[in-house]
Amino acid sequence: AGHRLTSEISARLLLHDVTMAGLQELRFPEEKPLLRGQDATELESSDAFLLAADTDWKEHDIETPYGLLHVVIRGSPKGNRPAILTYHDVGLNHKLCFNTFFNFEDMQEITKHFVVCHVDAPGQQVGASQFPQGYQFPSMEQLAAMLPSVVQHFGFKYVIGIGVGAGAYVLAKFALIFPDLVEGLVLVNIDPNGKGWIDWAATKLSGLTSTLPDTVLSHLFSQEELVNNTELVQSYRQQIGNVVNQANLQLFWNMYNSRRDLDINRPGTVPNAKTLRCPVMLVVGDNAPAEDGVVTPLSPLQMADSGGLPQVTQPGKLTEAFKYFLQGMGYMPSASMTRLARSRTASLTSASSVDGSRPQACTHSESSEGLGQVNHTMEVSC
């Protein structure tokens, strides 16, 4: 009984580390960029982004209240286990945004336990037809409201969302509107704030003086990366210009820049605070364009040496953090963890669920309210 109590407390402390209510600033030690099996020059080829490990994926076009959504899926629902559902950043699609991350060797170890569903924003997928003149692109709220159709189409009970940038905003909005459908969230480089008049004017001016790919690059990459014009930046400039339909991208870009504040608060900070009811892991790349917007209200996990696209430049670090997050929710056995602090993970084995049942001890209310003022910092050595 004592061992079980210790395990339950350890599991709660772990979950507390990565929830909206208790997430502390987590810094990873320095690590060389991990693009396993690729060097930067290889990324200039579209094959590096678009052709890797595509054979097991099935494509679907799903009807929603606000138009068709292109979705690719691998695997089938596994009992009560949630699906991993991703949403990419503006300027990208699921392949440009997530291929490096999901093809990373250690990430494969995770995804074999889940059905994975990648969602492309309307008209952003490879080979998308251009929208007709006068087409009204869905608002950010409407993009979120399209996702229940995906969940229902495939028979998912709930999802763990992974979103980057604009996609993180959409998934956060989705979790606010449909909390019962979301088991957990990983939000990378989310900017929860709408643009003020000065930012709006600066964006408009940038659109007049720069090409659309270059304008979008300023959203995706840090100033240091852009000034150095790294091979990764050059590769993405080429991919954004050649792979994504430019007229469709312009509509998505305009809508993202017209977004409203998410208006999320931590529980207890203001009366009737609007909060996310699921566990949340917040990630921001060091010097990422969204860093200030994320750090100020939300205290995210900051990844060193990752620039604007942590899931591309540091897939190893992000995979480690994601495994830790999943184990805190009760979905990953400690035997599957790699290079994590064994003293922390060993005590969680009995609290981990490997049979696909939904954990009962990882609700947001228990992780935030039941732990009071206990604070811990997660250390990951890569």
pLDDT at 285: 78
Q: How would residue 203 be classed by pLDDT, with cut points 50, 70 and 90? A: low
pLDDT number for residue 56: 80
In the chain the domains, ranked by start, together with CATH numbers, are 57-329 (3.40.50.1820)
- The pair of structure tokens assigned to 34 is 């991990």
Asked if 214 contacts 88 with a C-beta cutoff of 8 angstroms, the reply is no
d(C-alpha 350, C-alpha 66), whole Å: 44
The pLDDT tens digits of the residues spanning 71-102 come to 999 988 777 899 999 999 999 999 999 999 99
Helix (H, G, I), strand (E, B) or coil at 72: strand
The C-alpha atoms of residue 360 and residue 139 are separated, in whole angstroms, by: 35
Rounded to 5°, angle at Cα 75 from 125 and 94: 20
pLDDT level of residue 41 (50, 70, 90 thresholds)? very low
Q: In 3D, which of 375, 267, 276 has the Cα closest to residue 16?
A: 375
In 3D space, the residue among 42, 171, 188, 186 whose CA is nearest the CA of residue 119 turns out to be: 171
Mean pLDDT of 252-266: 87
Q: Which tokens hold the place of 358? A: 């939904």
Contact criterion met (CB below 8 Å) for 376 and 17: yes
Write out pLDDT tens, residues 280-303.
999 987 766 654 545 444 455 666
Between CA 98 and CA 320, with CA 336 as vertex, the angle to 5 degrees is: 45
Residue 57 pLDDT: 86
Choice among 117-121, 231-235, 236-240, 285-289 with the minimum mean pLDDT? 285-289
Element (H, E) at 70: strand 67-74
